[in-house]
Structure 1
Amino acid sequence: MTAILTPKRLTPADVLRVGASGLRTHPLRVLLSALGIAIGIAAMVSIVGITASGRAGLNAELAKLGNNLLVVGPAQGALGTDAKLPTEAETMINRIDHVWSVTAVGAVRGAKVYRNDHVPTELSNGITVVASRLNLPAVVSADVAAGSWLTPAAQRFPTVVLGAKAAEWLGFDASNLGGRIWLGGRWYTVIGILRSAALAEELDAVVFVGWENATEDLGFDGHASAVYVRAEESAIGSVHSRLARTANPESPGEVRVSRPSDVLIAKAAADRALTSLLVGLGAVALLVGGIGVANTMVISVLERRAEIGLRRALGATRTQIWVQFLTEAVLLALLGGGSGVILGAAATAAYAMAQHWTMALPGWAVAGAVGATFTIGCLAGIYPAVRAARLAPTEALASN
């Protein structure tokens, strides 16, 4: 009676041990192959993580500054244009339902500002002089970096507050507050410097004077060049649609209404478009890494023909050989993928820390990276595994 021999089944632990043994025998080759996968995964994870962190940072910034600021001005453009808003524009806008607060600045045309009275008149650096309402910093979320803001008493005297860029251009900081600048043909004392206003960057290159002082001493005509409006966020669309005809009922077409936060959101959208391109480049790197894994496995099959033949002669089945080499390819890809996830997360954390963002790494990005490496390992290992399984024991041993 002939006995029927049944091949012993490999347990999962056996499969992992046998698959890992091939990696341990050629560490340098494994390192270089895994590096290709790691670079691709790190690129994709860091790109997604940095984009998500940037988006989280933007949302946090908008939450802090407010997403409900609207700016009303002449349709021709920014401060200093010939178009004018009616002098009653602020009062009329303040009557709109769901409007919380209103403030304004007005360009003081003809007033030039210089560091001192010896600077040639043509070297004004393009700094704009504006008359300002006292509640401007609160409405536009502009903090005082040094000194103080205009007060009801100070605005009646020749005192000014400098925007962030204007202070830099005029050579002022916290150390020389109280110094004077030459403005409109007379000396003005600098009592404060503002921080950069994220939602009103046009105010950074501005010198602020009190509304009363500008009217009495600098020939200001009382027309606001820009009106800043804070409204209830849930009603921002309704308020936006009513501002132009409220600010200038006779010529609403000559009024420009903008939402500064939309600019930040547009920048984020542009970043997302760029991210898609960079993710594509990361995918190319992954493809190159997958080819490297496949190449390594093919070479491994060629070099280990004797091992394959010996295992086949000792009773290993084609399926067991196939599973061994496929497992080896998957482990190689996962090694590179795991390293790539760690590198990508580290790069995201470093960049977020440098930008003062909260790190945000979506779970789907990590899961996708692991899934991508597993898929690459399977695809890259199929052909070498099949080739190894097809080797006849006699042929493999004879080749040695």
Structure 2
Amino acid sequence: MAAAEALRPARMWPGDVMKVGAVGLRTRPLRAFLSALGIAIGIAAMVGVVGISSSSRADLDRTLAALGTNLLTVKPGSTLTGEQAQLPLEAEAMVRRIAPVRSVSAIGMIDDAKVYRNRKIDQAETGGIATYATRLDLPATTGATVASGTWLNEATGRFPAVVLGASAAERLGVGRAGPQTQVVVGGKPFTVVGILAKAPLAPELDTAALVGWPVARSELGFDGHPTTVYTRSADSAVEDVQSVLGATANPAAPNEVDVSRPSDALAARQAADEALTGLLLGLGAVALLVGGVGVANTMVISVLERRSEIGLRRSLGATRGQIRTQFLAESLLLSALGGAGGAVLGMAVTAGYAVSQDWPIVIPAWAVAGGMAATLLIGAVAGLYPAIRASRLSPTEALATP
């Protein structure tokens, strides 16, 4: 029994496996470095491509979001008799109940409230300027910005104050907003508190005079019915929201509602996402393949050069399993070093390029973790054949090799 115990090969603990696997890397540092560098370049390419593409996609998403890919509008259509329909007073509130809708705002046209620079202007010279009652959250929903002055607030929305669209201000000869600047709206003086910049998502605002909802009802005879309801929705749900907007805004007569279709930019965004995803998968697969070939090549050469070492270890009692474990551990260590260096290099390249292009820096965690995991898997597969080949060498054959 004691003799059997003495002949049993010593067990290799995880720490021992790591030390033995590192022997080949320490004794041939230059080759190990070059092999790890090849793996690192492959992983860096994968992480860099994923990171740069993701950063580019984030910038594209930001640009397309500014173009209003998720902006939908609801307007009254025509009745069955061909007359102009009307949205219900509760249209905004009902649209807000749609779960994916993030924001809602509205304007309502005031037909009889013409706008003039002063009372001396001929009433026929309206300049094509329309007056709208507006909600205070209109800029946030439509993306409109103020070029001069300020937007309406809770106070100015209740008093004779007006914000002019860019074209409306130009036609009226109003260059700047201020407490001394007034125009005539519906026969009454209104102070120009703001002038909008061009509104590409809502061009109707360019030729509009916008007043608060409360003052429109109290001073200009506004009936409270919205004529345009603006909605922002989650990008993934734009088409679903569009399909229910008409029936939600006017349940009694959904056929009398006109709903805008999703922006063409949204379709372009989805197509770009699909193209970039395919590019990432293809380039990532090539990078991993190159890294795996490098590891396999390095380990095969290592086995050929270390046949004497393998024979000596077998003569001293090392089992085939221990030889396999040694070379497999060496392959995994080599892959891990290359993978870690490549991940760091790929993240640095992504960050540098994104900053140079003024993009948001986006490095998906799955790319780094997946790259490391794939590196270890490739290292194990690439090192398996050399490890098996080394374990099959007999001690006499290995020692006889010059």
Q: Which TM-score band (shorter chain)? A: 0.5 to 0.7
Tell me if structure 2 keeps the 8 A contact 1:70–1:240.
no
The answer to whether the 8 Å contact 1:131/1:209 transfers is yes
Question: SS of the residue aligned with 1:142?
Answer: coil
Q: 1:189 aligns with which of 170, 175, 186?
A: 175
Query: Which residues in structure 2 correspond to 1:317-356 (within 5 Å)?
Result: 317-346=319-348, 354-356=358-360
Corresponding residue number in structure 1 for 2:101: none
Deviates more, 1:335-344 or 1:37-46: 37-46
Classify the secondary structure of the residue corresponding to 1:258: coil
1:66-215 equivalence runs, <5 A: 69-72=71-74, 86=84, 88=86, 98=96, 101-103=105-107, 134-135=134-135, 136-144=138-146, 147-149=149-151, 155=162, 161-162=165-166, 183=171, 187-191=173-177, 201-203=200-202, 207-210=206-209
Q: 1:36 to 1:142 in 2, by over 3 A?
A: farther
Contact preservation (8 Å) 1:92, 1:247? no
| Alignment counterpart, residue 297 of structure 2, candidates 295, 298, 303 | 295
Q: Which residue of 2 aligns with 1:227?
A: 228
Q: Secondary structure at the match of 2:175?
A: strand
Structure 1 residues 309 and 383: CA distance shift in structure 2, 3 A: same
Residue 319 to residue 196, structure 1, CA distance change in 2 (3 Å): farther
What is the identity, as a one-letter code, of the residue corresponding to 2:379? G
Check whether the contact 1:90–1:227 (CA below 8 A) recurs between aligned residues.
no
The sequence identity of aligned pairs, in percent, is 48
Task: Give 1:40 shift.
Answer: 3.9
In structure 2, the CA distance between the partners of 1:51 and 1:281, relative to structure 1 (3 Å rule), is closer
Deviation at 1:317, TM superposition (A): 2.3
Deviates most, 21-30 or 317-326: 21-30
Residues 194 and 97 of structure 1, relative CA distance in 2, 3 Å threshold: closer
Residues 371 and 361 of structure 1, relative CA distance in 2, 3 Å threshold: same
Q: Which amino acid aligns with 2:209?
A: G
Equivalence for 2:186: none
Measured against aligned partners, the alpha-carbon deviations of 1:354-398 in whole angstroms (never above 9, x if no partner) come to 5347x5744x55443333222111110111111212223333233
Q: Which moved more, 1:128-137 or 1:4-13?
A: 128-137
- Distance across 2 between alignment mates of 1:328 and 1:56: 39
User: SS of the residue aligned with 1:326?
Assistant: helix
How far the C-alpha of 1:335 sits from its partner, in A, is 1.2
1:276 corresponds to which residue? Answer: 278
**1:209 positional shift:** 4.3
Structure 1 segments (4+ residues) deviating >6 Å: 50-68, 128-132, 231-235, 243-251
Task: Tell me how far 1:288 sits from its aligned partner.
Answer: 1.0
Query: For residues 350 and 247 of structure 1, what CA distance do their matches in structure 2 show?
Result: 57
Contact 2:246/2:254, CA 8 A, preserved across alignment: no
- Following superposition of structure 1 onto structure 2, how do residues 297-316 of structure 1 map, counting pairs within 5 Å? 297-316=299-318
Q: Distance in 2 between matches of 1:202 and 1:386?
A: 66
Per the alignment, do residues 195 and 53 of structure 1 end up closer, same or farther by CA in structure 2, a change over 3 Å counting?
farther
Amino acid at match of 1:355: W
Amino acid at match of 1:257: S
User: CA–CA distance in 2 between the matches of 1:196 and 1:303?
Assistant: 73
Residue 245 of structure 2 aligns to which amino acid in structure 1?
H
Q: CA contact under 8 A between 1:43 and 1:279: conserved in structure 2?
A: no
Cα contact 1:132–1:208 (8 A) shared by 2? no
Q: Residue deviations 1:148-204, cap 9 Å, x none?
A: 35888675xxx9544xxx9xxxxxxxxxxxxx9964xx744254675787xxx4348
Are the counterparts in 2 of residues 15 and 327 from structure 1 also a CA contact under 8 Å?
yes
1:389 corresponds to which of 384, 388, 391: 391
Distance change >3 Å, CA 378–CA 270, structure 1 → 2: same
**Residues 258-284 of structure 1: CA deviation (Å, up to 9, x unaligned):** 356x95586256325422331221111
- Tell me whether 1:242 sits opposite 2:247 in the alignment: yes
- Per the normalisation by structure 1, the TM-score is 0.61
Counterpart of 1:340, as a letter, is G
DSSP-derived class of the 2:12 partner:
coil
